[in-house]
Amino acid sequence: MVNLSQTERSRGTAKEYMKYLHERRMEDILHLFAPGALFTVVSNEERAPATGGTKPATKVIPAAKAFVDEFDKWEIVVQRVVAEDDVAFVEASVKGRGPGQKAYTNNYLLRFIVGEDGKIKDFKESMDGYEVEAAAASLQAYYKEHGKI
């Protein structure tokens, strides 16, 4: 039997996460995670070996903040949020622009396991890690070219 209050709690946490990500409020995202929560990135390891794996959320979120903050413009478009009991899924597209002419586009599927306290206990992110690595390399090249590193 589906626990409706837990389902709504899971859906609410997932929506809050996406709102904070859209607004680049990474410190607020970090507070959504339970102590010891794990963050798994599922990616094509042949194309993007640096992006995959499982780490503590406390290690991943600061790295994500550094990546997200580099863009002049950042937009998250949520297509769908589906939840049942302690699990929520989000399908979303992400777009970033700048500095310069750099553009970043990726599609994400996110899976949240949410505790009764509304905190994320386990998180899984699937996307094209190659696009993340290509955007990071492009940003690095832009800063090098403009004497900022």
Residue 76: other Cβ atoms inside 10 A: 19
Pairwise CA distance, residues 39 & 124, whole Å: 6
The closest of 54, 39, 126 to 90, measured between CA atoms, is 126
Cα of 51 vs its chain's centroid, Å = 12
Structural domains in the chain, sorted by start: 4-145 (3.10.450.50)
Looking at residue 57, its pLDDT comes to 94
E runs forming strands in the chain: 33-42, 53-56, 73-84, 87-97, 103-114, 120-126
Q: Is the whole-model pTM more than 0.75?
A: yes
Contact indicator for 6, 116 with CB cutoff of 8 Å: yes
Looking at residue 100, its pLDDT comes to 74
CA-only gyration radius of the chain, Å: 16
Looking at residue 129, its pLDDT comes to 61
Contact indicator for 129, 50 with CB cutoff of 8 Å: yes
Looking at residue 138, its pLDDT comes to 67
Looking at residue 149, its pLDDT comes to 59
Average pLDDT per run of 10 along the chain, which is 149 residues long? 88 98 96 96 63 85 87 94 98 88 87 97 85 66 66
